[in-house]
Structure 1
Amino acid sequence: MQQKQKHATKLTLKTLVLAMASTAPASVLAAVDIDFYGSLRMQAEAVHPDSSAEFANGGNSSYSNIRDAYSRLGITANWQANDAINVFGQLEVPIDTANFKIQDPYDDRRDLRVAQVGVSGDFGTLAYGQMWLPFYNAISYKVDRFSTYYSGYATLAFFRAFNTVSYYSPDFNGVSFGAGAVIKDTSDRADTFDDNRYQFTATYNANGTDFSIGIEQVDDNKDTRLLGAALGQQIDNLYLGIKLEQSSAKGSADANVFNLYADYTFNDYTFKAMYADVDGFGGQIFHLGADYQYSKNLKTFIEFYQQESVNALAAEKAGGSGSFRNPLGDFEPDAKKGGGKAVAVGFRYDF
């Protein structure tokens, strides 16, 4: 979440969609399976900075307000070209319900979450566009299981990227592989990078055990690299997750990440807890929560979140990047610390 982002433009995507729709044969369009979906996620929160902490734009007053927790609207399309090949596409946009805008609640320059096309079959899945990355899917996702805005920050991995090619292999007796290449992009789009990035993951998933290792290699002059290993273990109603990451680059000290997560489901309730230690992005992090599954589509939740230094906490209705960037703490050498805590209650409605 902490990466430098660039402004997202809509014209290219809109033009592409219109062109595809206008040139596709009617028989093909009739055979396309189209699904619309959405998820409305909101929270009311009380945020309390530590006495030694300060927001990036100044001040350290506590506040209570509402915040979006990653609401989204999307559409998927699937076309079975033949018995062996399925062609698919997906478009998903963020809805910042607290600010009433089409933008990500972390970075207001993002107006796309996913925009990808691909093919799948017995050979696996090959896709291009803006998507979730293989390293996050295999490593970070195993401990990204909370419900509030504050879920998923205890990592050094990037979540999604534009201009990406990914491949996921079929399952070989529980063993599968993922690979991705993020192609450098000098445009003003969000989720782009100045250097090519290459990812590879290997996963074993069987009988409740989900173990993965992964690497991201950046094509720069610093040999920047991120290594990761994660285990998710389901034991009846108990889930345990452990994650390790190490980021290295020439001329810089290594940054290490450790996560220990657990949740337990009892009837319609799920109780969650995580401890994490993230070098350079949050320090020691404590996260507690409980979900209540009111119905198939509706979930309510309450969570407590605490960070030692700059990480997820931000000023009222602001985020960690973009024009409304105002996190608690900052990365400048002379910046005040970003320690603080938050309590949030909210709901999630999927449709």
Structure 2
Amino acid sequence: MKKTAIAIALTSATAFANAQTVEVKLPTFYGKMNVTQEFVQQENDGSYSRLQSNASRLGLKGDFALNDELTAFYQAEYQIDVDGDADDAKALTMRNTFVGAKGSFGKVQAGLFDTALKAAQGKVDQFNDLPGDIKNIVTNSENREANAVRYSTPSLSGLVLTVDHINAEEEGAHNGLSLSAVYSRDAIYAAVAHDSEVEGEGVSVTRVVGQVSLADLTLGALWETEDDNGESADGFMVSAALKATSKVALKAQLASSDIKAEGSEQMSLGADYKLAKNAKTFVFATMGENDAEDSGVQVYGAGVEYKF
């Protein structure tokens, strides 16, 4: 009896020693703080100053192997208002939050995230999240949609195709569809994207984007057209960034659009100074107007951005 017990104990100890170790990775904690002091001058109206938190955020993300061929991934991201403006109910605003799986077939994800059309802009917008952002003048379709399911192909020599199915979750309502084809390789970025009934019923949007880097100079352009139940309008934006020194980058952007307001025109100029790998300080000026009387607005600002 004693010999049997000893044999069982030795067998169990050997099996435990030979068992494979399963590595459980902790999620990555990340974030961005972007804050600007801005001065706003309105045509034939009062001027004022403001402190702005520009899409500052905190998040967790990670992945882990399900088997040799399949990897799970996830992300939970929330916007925070560093300037303290948000009330307690809005202290955290959900941003891109999803779960998914990827493998040789490509990847699938579900949750809340930027549409394929929004993501197709890449980095062409040199004043993203600032007053010169294209969402403020060029487009209505910078959407982040809930109840969405996405499939993206693996990279085909730099080309990735993406399709989003956005569930309406109401009887009789139309589901949204967002598609993109994005080519990115070396110094070239090109994309074409299309939304159907994402912005609203009977609304379709097409976007074309291009960007190229030539040594220290980066040039970009975006064109968009929107059809809202038979009423069409379009807009465009061109941008440039010059790496003047190892620490200084100069930026310029010009936009024109009838999509958000008739006759909208905007120009932005700015400069970034690199403080560290993930930190910068910057200044900018944005001037815009449209066909409406006394619509002219000028915004001047300076800020800092920390990423971690």
Conserved? CA contact 1:50–1:338, under 8 Å: yes
Counterpart residue identity of residue 109, structure 2: A
Taking the aligned partners of 1:183 and 1:92, their CA distance within structure 2 comes to 21
What's the RMSD between the two structures over aligned residues? 2.6
Q: What are the Cα deviations for residues 124-159 of structure 1, in whole angstroms up to 9, with x where unaligned? A: 121100112111111x33422326532342333223
Taking the aligned partners of 1:136 and 1:292, their CA distance within structure 2 comes to 27
Partner of 1:305: 286
Inter-CA distance 99–290: structure 2 relative to 1 (3 Å threshold)? same
Partner of 2:99: 117
Taking the aligned partners of 2:134 and 2:109, their CA distance within structure 1 comes to 24
Counterpart residue identity of residue 255, structure 1: A
Partner of 2:275: 294
Post-superposition shift, 1:39? 1.0
Post-superposition shift, 1:195? 4.1
Q: Write out aligned runs for 1:86-97 (5 A).
A: 86-97=71-82
Inter-CA distance 222–39: structure 2 relative to 1 (3 Å threshold)? closer
Q: Find out whether 1:181 has 2:160 as its counterpart.
A: no
Partner of 2:126: 145
Partner of 1:36: 29
Q: What are the Cα deviations for residues 272-294 of structure 1, in whole angstroms up to 9, with x where unaligned? A: 11111121425111111111111
Partner of 2:3: none
Inter-CA distance 336–93: structure 2 relative to 1 (3 Å threshold)? farther
Taking the aligned partners of 1:223 and 1:69, their CA distance within structure 2 comes to 32
Counterpart residue identity of residue 135, structure 1: L
By relative contact order (CA 8 Å, sep 6+), the higher-ranking structure is 1
Conserved? CA contact 2:274–2:280, under 8 Å: yes
Taking the aligned partners of 1:69 and 1:103, their CA distance within structure 2 comes to 18
Partner of 2:151: 167
Q: Find out whether 1:65 has 2:46 as its counterpart.
A: no
Inter-CA distance 259–347: structure 2 relative to 1 (3 Å threshold)? same
Taking the aligned partners of 2:294 and 2:77, their CA distance within structure 1 comes to 35
Secondary structure of the corresponding residue to residue 236 of structure 2: strand
Post-superposition shift, 1:301? 0.6
Inter-CA distance 96–109: structure 2 relative to 1 (3 Å threshold)? closer
1:348 to 294, 298, 305: 305
Q: Write out aligned runs for 1:327-342 (5 A).
A: 338-342=295-299
Taking the aligned partners of 2:200 and 2:305, their CA distance within structure 1 comes to 44
Secondary structure of the corresponding residue to residue 213 of structure 1: strand
Taking the aligned partners of 2:123 and 2:305, their CA distance within structure 1 comes to 20
Tell me which protein shows more strand as a share of its residues.
Answer: 2
Q: Find out whether 1:46 has 2:63 as its counterpart.
A: no
Structure 1 unmatched runs, 5+: 1-26, 52-59, 187-193, 311-334
Partner of 2:16: none
State the structure with more CA Rg.
2
Secondary structure of the corresponding residue to residue 158 of structure 1: coil
Secondary structure of the corresponding residue to residue 33 of structure 2: strand
Conserved? CA contact 1:122–1:170, under 8 Å: yes
Q: Find out whether 1:257 has 2:239 as its counterpart.
A: no
Taking the aligned partners of 1:207 and 1:350, their CA distance within structure 2 comes to 25
Taking the aligned partners of 2:201 and 2:305, their CA distance within structure 1 comes to 42
Secondary structure of the corresponding residue to residue 136 of structure 1: helix
Conserved? CA contact 1:39–1:348, under 8 Å: yes
Partner of 1:84: 69
Secondary structure of the corresponding residue to residue 135 of structure 1: helix
Post-superposition shift, 1:207? 3.3
- Moved runs in structure 1, 4+ residues, more than 3 A? 100-104, 219-223, 335-338
Conserved? CA contact 2:139–2:259, under 8 Å: no
How many residue pairs get matched? 280
Q: Find out whether 1:213 has 2:192 as its counterpart.
A: yes
Post-superposition shift, 1:35? 0.7
Counterpart residue identity of residue 117, structure 1: V
Secondary structure of the corresponding residue to residue 141 of structure 1: coil
Identity %: 25
Taking the aligned partners of 1:290 and 1:102, their CA distance within structure 2 comes to 33
Conserved? CA contact 2:282–2:303, under 8 Å: yes
Inter-CA distance 304–195: structure 2 relative to 1 (3 Å threshold)? farther
TM-score, length basis structure 2: 0.83
1:136 to 118, 131, 134: 118
Counterpart residue identity of residue 250, structure 2: F
